[in-house]
Amino acid sequence: SAVISQKPSRDICQRGTSLTIQCQVDSQVTMMFWYRQQPGQSLTLIATANQGSEATYESGFVIDKFPISRPNLTFSTLTVSNLSPEDSSIYLCSVGPLNSFTEAFFGQGTRLTVV
Amino acid sequence: AQSVTQLDSQVPVFEEAPVELRCNYSSSVSVYLFWYVQYPNQGLQLLLKYLSGSTLVESINGFEAEFNKSQTSFHLRKPSVHISDTAEYFCAVSVYNNTDKLIFGTGTRLQVFP
């Protein structure tokens, strides 16, 4: 199994600022994933973070808005830039489910409110 | 592209009644299927999964799901629900031999009433 520590757990940010979310895994993994869960909705994959290469973004998400770092095999950060109220969501990091484990493991999430 | 459909956004039931949460996926290739549960103000937890073998999979808290390849479905069932089962349930699919990406359904809110 994998234990994922994600922080901050929540934050309230002003419009136009940025928030960086950190994700630490207790074992080495090749790929880490960042998801967004908008209020009352399901999870949408933002990007896949591979160690040693650029992140791969899903349709509708761009690097300028969601820059990702992956400095080593246990850590990643997601920055949400130039915040607007529409960015208010829960952001989750994840590992798995198959290349490394037989299921996906998720962090507890970061609840972001933009005011 | 793969997609997951959960037809019921909300399912209200009384305690001790049976429940079925429906999940259909669109893929012509082999897939792995998962049900995740999200209790209020908590993170996602794996409820059960189908990777291979028996098409009927069970969780430790009485839920079961059956993989039906011909109908591309993975419905979740429980013969008798408890109030503590109140949560959001997400069906998810990952395509075999593809990336580890999970595609999630829109979720079903199970509300159990006394």
Q: With 90 as the cut, is the pLDDT of residue B2 above it?
A: no
pLDDT tier at A18, thresholds 50, 70, 90: very high
Residue of B nearest to A95 (CA): B100
Measured CA to CA, the distance from residue B114 to residue B106 in angstroms comes to: 26
Q: Which residues of chain A have a CB within 8 Å of the CB of B106?
A: 41-42
The pLDDT > 90 percentage for chain B reads: 58
Nearest to A43 among B49, B90, B99 (CB): B90
| Identity of the residue in A104, A108, A109 whose CB atom sits nearest the CB atom of B102 | A104
B1, pLDDT greater than 80: no
Q: What does the pLDDT read at residue A39?
A: 84
Nearest by CB to B106, from A31, A41, A94: name it: A41
Q: State what percent of residues in chain A have pLDDT above 70.
A: 95
Banded model confidence at residue A68, pLDDT cuts 50, 70, 90: very high
The residue among A33, A57, A98 with the most chain B CBs within 10 A of its CB, best to mutate, is: A98
Q: How confident is the model at residue B100 (pLDDT cuts 50, 70, 90)?
A: low
Output the CA angle B80-B93-B48, nearest 5 degrees: 35
Q: Do A97 and B107 make contact, defined as CB atoms within 8 angstroms?
A: no
pLDDT tier at B32 (50, 70, 90 boundaries)? confident
Three-class DSSP category at B83: helix
Amino acid at B98: N
Length of chain A: 115
Q: Are strands B3-5 and B24-26 parallel, antiparallel or unpaired?
A: antiparallel
- Rank A50-54, A71-75, A78-82 by mean pLDDT and report only the highest: A78-82
Which band of pLDDT confidence, cut at 50, 70 and 90, is reported for residue B74? very high
Chain A contact present for B102, CB below 8 A = yes
pLDDT at A86 over 90: yes
pLDDT of res. A1: 75
